[in-house]
Amino acid sequence: MKTAATGAVLLGAQGAQGLIGKLDQQAELGKSKVVVARDPALHGTGAQLDEKRVLALLDRAIATYTGRDKPVEAWKRIVPVGKVIGLKVNGLGGRGISTHQALVMAVCERLQQAGVKPGEIVVWERDARSLQACSLTINTDSSRVRCYGNDVGGYEDQPVAFGSVRVKLAKILTRECDMVINMPILKDHELAGITFSMKNMYGVIARPDQLHAGGCNPAVADLNCIPAIRDKVRFTIGDAMTSVYDGGPGFHPERLWQPNALIVGEDRVAIDQIAWQMIARKRAEAGMPTLEAAGRPPHYIATAADATHILGTNDPHRIHLMEV
């Protein structure tokens, strides 16, 4: 196991929200922990994902994060029993660059083993098309894991606001879910710079297109401060098994890349900071300009960490990065 970043102590805002059972390693270190778990053999020799390896990778990521080797014990520290758990995936980029079905299935399997009933799990995205892009099947039968979009669940009539944003939230978030596990996919973004943890919340509102001005800054940070999002979206299991390092957020096979990784943690700002670094390294490797030079640095990450938003930390010295 490789660990990185030492420095000043910070009890992140995410930590204050807390997960069930308290993740004591995080509290001890006083930093925002982010786990990057990799499996170089995940895509084998071809471009096809070896789905059988995904569950093992997820287990390694969660075990490292929680400090518990047994998956059931580890998951019991993350999710409460008897509550409805939402899995917010991302299928916006269409086939080829959406949260992988194998990862969603692996999370559902572990949630159920940890005591969450199938009907208490809601996998969701903006609409049926986005879910189908993740190869997921629509199901509204509450005896099984539910899977449907905001096109079925609808939006609240009354908008909510924070800072620059005034939005109508998806009812799946406001009325169905007690806790949400955020499951974005790592992508370059033509406007925002990158899209990963915080930006994935554009899928929980009506008219996300209205929040694109100024490189989505401060809109991404403001949106994540809306109480229903800030309080319920408490854990991220980010899909970095496949990514686009340029031309995103749509599917551009010529700019596809396979980091073969999962990025896991509670601090959404720290996760996005690490994700940005990953994309930056890949762009440098490919001889491409930095996102700053391309005129689209993800400024919203720093905004989310500022004194107005306090969503987490983007300071590398305050992030406990564990690469396994």
Q: What residues line the site for another protein (CB under 8 A)?
A: 47, 92, 94-96, 127, 189-192, 195, 202, 207-209, 212, 246-255
Parallel/antiparallel/unpaired status of strands 32-38 and 121-125: unpaired
Tokens 């930093």 belong to: 31
Residue placing its CB nearer to another protein in the complex, 8 or 213? 213
Q: Whole-number minimum distance, CB 212 to another protein, in Å? A: 6
Q: Whole-number minimum distance, CB 22 to another protein, in Å? A: 36
CB 194 within 8 A of CB 272: yes
Residue placing its CB nearer to another protein in the complex, 96 or 118? 96
**CA–CA separation, 130 vs 36, rounded Å?**
26
**CA–CA separation, 151 vs 133, rounded Å?**
15
Residue placing its CB nearer to another protein in the complex, 144 or 207? 207
**CA–CA separation, 10 vs 26, rounded Å?**
10
Residue placing its CB nearer to another protein in the complex, 11 or 206? 206
CB 248 within 8 A of CB 276: no
Residue placing its CB nearer to another protein in the complex, 162 or 202? 202
Q: Whole-number minimum distance, CB 56 to another protein, in Å? A: 25
Q: Whole-number minimum distance, CB 122 to another protein, in Å? A: 22
Q: Whole-number minimum distance, CB 257 to another protein, in Å? A: 13
Q: Whole-number minimum distance, CB 216 to another protein, in Å? A: 9
Q: Cα–Cα distances in Å, from 251 out to 107, 133, 318?
A: 24, 11, 33
Q: Whole-number minimum distance, CB 96 to another protein, in Å? A: 5
Q: Whole-number minimum distance, CB 242 to another protein, in Å? A: 12
DSSP category for residue 18:
-
Residue placing its CB nearer to another protein in the complex, 157 or 209? 209
Residue placing its CB nearer to another protein in the complex, 5 or 256? 256
Tokens 């159920």 belong to: 112
- Chain centre distance of CA 164: 23
Residue placing its CB nearer to another protein in the complex, 157 or 254? 254
Length of the chain in terms of residues written: 324
Q: Whole-number minimum distance, CB 59 to another protein, in Å? A: 28
Bridge partner list, 7:
none
**CA–CA separation, 68 vs 317, rounded Å?**
25
Task: Name residues whose C-beta falls within 8 Å of residue 16's C-beta, 6 or more positions apart in sequence.
Answer: none
Residue placing its CB nearer to another protein in the complex, 65 or 202? 202
- Chain centre distance of CA 285: 25
DSSP category for residue 138:
P
Retrieve residue 121's tokens: 């799990």
**CA–CA separation, 74 vs 202, rounded Å?**
29
| Helices within 49-126 (DSSP H only) | 54-66, 71-76, 101-113
